[in-house]
Amino acid sequence: MRVPEQPPARQAKVELEPTDRSGAELFRVLRSDGSADPATDPKVGSKDLGSLYRLMLLNRALDERMTTLQRQGRIGFYIGSVGEEASILGSAFVMRPNDWIFPAYREHGATLMRGMPLPRFLANLFGNELDPIRGRQMPCHEAWEPGHVASSSSPLATQLPHAVGVGWAARLKGRDDVALAYFGDGATSTHDFHTGLNFAGVFKAQTIFLCRNNQWAISVPLSAQTASETLAIKARAYGLPGVRVDGNDLLAVIAVTRQAHERARSGQGATLIEAVTYRVKGHSTSDDPRAYRKDDEVEPWLRRDPLVLLRQHLVHLGVLTGAEDETLRAQAEEEIRTAAAQVEKAGPPALESLFEDVFAKIPWHLEEQRAEALSASRPTRLE
């Protein structure tokens, strides 16, 4: 599912200059009554907002269905983005086809927005014969070259230097390509975070760093992650602007990312965006957050669910009714259920594929191993 390209719009003014308290304030657009602050509204058309809402619903339905399938033993692992959809999809919406996305491992919605077919994504989760990676990559670690989405990697922040390299190369070549790198609050404690931001600051790489500050790095709370006042303020040490945005406010994320994008492609360099949000579910299906946090911590964030905020805004604009919303939700759930059922029917990758994609021409010793494996896998007739 691809969101239509947005038309040029008046840019909301967001302060992106490094100061002593860079990024200390939280940037918002949506008000409690569903209206948008006219001073900061990025003026996204109702058609695009509707497409974004449908994609957010699809993303949520995907997370819920895949979690169920994992619990049933039908897929091995899943990592979702419940509560973080606005920070992911709002920022990805700003990126053009020639720009690059460097995801962490929760940005499935961004990958679908960039054109990856849903069955292709699901095949990675099942690891079956429909999976182009042939079941060799961890689930939820997709890549989509046609949409300029780089491969995900489990080690934290390793994608940041890569995104800086793409942003720097664009600057050297005189191109206006921009790279967007996603990561979580836990990644800010890694050496690649320092390496990436330092290099980007020195060489003015055309890169946007988007930190999804969801308050938890698996079981480590933000308070045990850093003594810094905010994560955005860390940008100042690297000579970069840092901005702190309400990560559940889709319009605010779009406004801030647009400004960072304009800054990058105009040769002014990189920006660090701290999208303040919350990881509503566990880190992954392998995690039980009840072991380290209380339910009453989650409740306030549920009231600011990004889907709820955007739905209120669409209702305020008069482009969505309650009945239409129920229909859209049912359609999203059915699309996920139908696609998953179809992909699940496929068999496992062929045994001989285990020996492929290693050498351009399979050497003799692997040929022998393949022949032996295939011979051993054939059923033996009992006399």
Give catalytic residue positions: 279, 283, 292
Tokens matching residue 244: 């702190």
Alpha helices in the chain (DSSP H): 46-71, 85-94, 108-113, 118-126, 159-172, 191-203, 250-265, 295-302, 306-317, 322-344, 364-377
Q: Tell me the DSSP string of 111-132.
A: HHHTT--HHHHHHHHHTSTT-T
User: Rounded to 10 degrees, what is the CA torsion of 58, 272, 162, 88?
Assistant: 0
Tokens matching residue 376: 């051993």
CB 114 within 8 A of CB 92: yes
Q: Burial, 361: exposed, middle or buried (Cβ in 10 Å; 0-12, 13-18, 19+)?
A: exposed
| Cα distance between residue 197 and residue 207, in whole Å | 9
Element of type H or E holding 275: strand 271-276
Among 272, 201, 277, residue whose Cα is nearest residue 243: 272
| Cα distance between residue 251 and residue 88, in whole Å | 12
User: If you compute the radius of gyration of the chain from its CA atoms, what whole number of angstroms results?
Assistant: 22
Q: Terminal CA-to-CA distance of the chain, rounded, Å?
A: 56
Residue entry with tokens 């040929």: 367
Among 145, 150, 255, 262, residue whose Cα is nearest residue 208: 262
DSSP helix, strand, coil percent of the chain (3-state; round to 5) = 45, 10, 45
| Cα distance between residue 156 and residue 65, in whole Å | 26
